[in-house]
Structure 1
Amino acid sequence: MKVELFIPCFIDQIYPETAFSTVKLLEKAGCEVAYNPAQTCCGQPAYNAGFWDQAKKVGTKFLNDFSDDCYIVSPSGSCVGMVKNGYNDLFTNSIEHNRCRNIQGNVYELTDFLVNVLKKDYFGAELVGTAVYHDACSALRECGIRDEPRRLLSHVGGLELLEMRDQESCCGFGGSFAVKFEGISAAMAEQKVQNALAVKADFIISTDSSCLMQLQGYIDKHELPIKTKHIADVLTSGWANI
């Protein structure tokens, strides 16, 4: 099966190892992975800030950078949620309407694709420790992803998955929200990290690097004994010479 890889801005610029982990997972699952280096952003920052005309220009480039007859997979529920939902506001009844609908039907967040399309949930990963899974807002609320990451993590050797208080609460990032409302954003990150520490978790795992960046920033500032990891990096942990 051929899939096209969509790597969001955060991962491209800050967490490139997660992009490579995504490729490894898809290839181990039997996929032929294609990557278009001309791709940039999905337009979500401009869209969320209210600049819809600018977001549409970026979104139009996104539609042209990908095929409308091939699966598109991304390690980000946030960006997939933008394409699946935000693009309705930008492209409904426009000249790009039909192409947009085709791409919306083909774009998947990574864990959703692995579990529900490829029907695979075991990749031979090993990570010793305890972890909580952070339900990123966009993955949970826009893409309906909840059980898929937990199912994948349940098959990671040596990893005990725990539930924490306020499991589905936001981490406080929210893109421009973290800039406009810094105090509230930091307090939300504190609450999420402290809830993870309360159950003695070694790791906070999520589908979204933006959430993990937010939480890791709080962890680093306060030198706390916990780490964040993207689920793609967890699912390739313990692999030898790959």
Structure 2
Amino acid sequence: MRVALFVTCVNDTLYPHTGQAVVALLERLGVEVDFPPAQTCCGQPQFNTGYRHETEPLVRRYAAAFREYDYVVTPSGSCAAMVRDNYPRIGAKASAEGRGEELTEAAASAVPKTYELTEFLLDVLGVTDVGAYYPHTVTYHPTCHGLRMLGLGDRPRRLLEHVRGIELRELAGADECCGFGGTFAVKNAAVSAAMGADKARAIADTGAETICAVDNSCLMHIGGTLARQGAAARPVHIAEILAATEDAPPSAARAAVEGSPR
């Protein structure tokens, strides 16, 4: 089984510890993980802003970068949904314009092998207990792409429930959007901020130390809002919780990355 990590732009640029956590977790479970350096953006920012033609080269590049792998695992429900839901649409529209054979083939090769991390753990590896230890109170926010486009359902929560030491707390209005939405937050800043404030208040009401999700983009938005409200909860990607053990807490890995020279 050949497995590749698709780290995504946000994680590569701002949250490299999340990508490292995915590798540490999968290797602990006996999976060898490659990182093809040809990978770049999945094209979601361009596509969501209406630049479909400009997205097409990125579809081709993604398919080429991961051509030799059986599975592509990503710590992003948002980017996994872009590949699985939108790549076929891009190929179909290009085909309708008389130039889509290559794109249709690229989408067809990329879609079935692309998995969000929690999907891969449960659906491919068949594990719910990954041997994690995280002695903190945690509340879980199901992100929109993961919940609505990928249909992750209770997969993330099932994994969290098997983490030793964790105390899960229910989040009121958990299925409501946090307000980020990528370019939505830029185009509709006031609405985005109001939605983020509602989500942050709900998180603060749980009294949890940690808010976790499958997307760092949403956690970035939520974390900024929590900080401005003076709330104590901090955002942590689910991969970092699942990768944590008594010998390797997530704080140590994060400090090593953030303290390293750029």
Where on the TM-score scale, by shorter chain, does this alignment land: which range?
Answer: over 0.9
Cα distance in 2, alignment partners of residues 110 and 62 from structure 1: 18
Normalising by the residue count of structure 2, what TM-score does the alignment of the two structures yield?
0.89
SS at match of 1:7: coil
SS at match of 2:167: strand
Deviation at 1:102, TM superposition (A): 2.4
Is the 8 Å Cα contact of residues 203 and 228 (structure 1) preserved in structure 2?
A: yes
Which of 163, 173, 177 is the equivalent residue of 1:170? 177
Q: What is the match of residue 119 of structure 2?
A: 112
Alignment of 1:1-242 (within 5 A): 1-67=1-67, 70-92=70-92, 93=95, 94-96=100-102, 97-240=104-247
Give, in angstroms, the shift of residue 99 of structure 1.
Answer: 3.4
Write the deviation string for residues 4-37 of structure 1: whole angstroms up to 9, x where unpaired. 1101100000000000000011111211111111
| Structure that is richer in helix per residue | 2
Q: Is the partner of 1:4 in helix, strand or coil? A: strand
1:87-110: per-residue Cα shift (whole Å, max 9, x none)? 122112422223321220110000
Q: Secondary structure at the match of 2:162?
A: coil
Q: Normalising to structure 1: TM-score of the pair?
A: 0.96
Q: Are the counterparts in 2 of residues 127 and 237 from structure 1 also a CA contact under 8 Å? A: yes
Structure 1 residues 13-22 or 142-151, which shifts more? Answer: 142-151
**Which stretches in structure 1 are left out of the alignment for 5+ residues?**
none
**Contact 1:112 1:145 (8 Å CA) reproduced:** yes
- Residue identity opposite 1:104 in structure 2: V
Q: CA deviation at 1:231?
A: 0.3
- Runs (4 or more) in structure 1 with deviation over 3 Å come to none
CA separation in 1, counterparts of 2:165 and 2:197?
27
Higher strand share: 1
CA contact (8 A) 1:68 1:106 kept: no
- Aligned partner of 1:173: which letter? F
Contact 1:80 1:109 in 2 (8 A): yes
**After alignment, is 67-76 or 50-59 more displaced?**
67-76
Deviation of 1:222 (Å): 2.5
